[in-house]
Amino acid sequence: MYSLLQELIHEAESKYLGQSDLVKLLQEMASMRPRLAVYRYLRDNEVYIFQKVADELLAQLPQEKTRNIENCLRHWLSITRYSAMAMLLNNPEYLQRHLLEWLTDIVRVYEYQHISKKLHSLLISRLKEELPDNGIKYIEPFLNQAQAHIENVH
């Protein structure tokens, strides 16, 4: 939304927008309602969703130190919050600049990529089950973007 709006504002300047741009704008605005619904759901069910993910994660990684799992969970709580805003703005760059870049060195030190991979997959499965009206399609690209970023940290 935000990047598209900016693009349209820059494009318009001293002229009226053309029909195709107005259609793009309308489509973007139409998708705002379901995005907001997903945002509200994530906000109101944060503890419920993540507690389920945490319990499954502990069961699947019995050898892993709890502290490592906690660190990874804490960062994924953060990733999901920033992803939710990036989803509202429909702007992957928001997630990149506001969180992922900053997280790069931290992930390198914590070395929890293997936990993150499991956590991401559990979170996606959980959200697929829980989010009504196929809402997963709005948030999933941002969660995938974060997981891809974490996987690429060496």
To the nearest 10°, the Cα dihedral for 24, 27, 33, 39?
Answer: -60
Give whichever of 17 and 46 is closer to other proteins, judged by the CB atom.
Answer: 46
The token duo for 47 is 């503890």
Q: Which stretch binds other proteins (CB under 8 A): 19-27, 69-77, 120-128, 141-149?
A: 69-77
109 binds other proteins (CB under 8 A): yes
* Residue of 101, 111, 129, 133 interacting with other proteins (CB under 8 A): 101
b/e burial code for range 66-104 (CB count within 10 A of at least 16 → b):
eeebebbbebbeebbebbbbbbbbbbbebbbeebbeebe
Give whichever of 6 and 134 is closer to other proteins, judged by the CB atom.
Answer: 6
* Residue of 41, 50, 112, 142 interacting with other proteins (CB under 8 A): 50
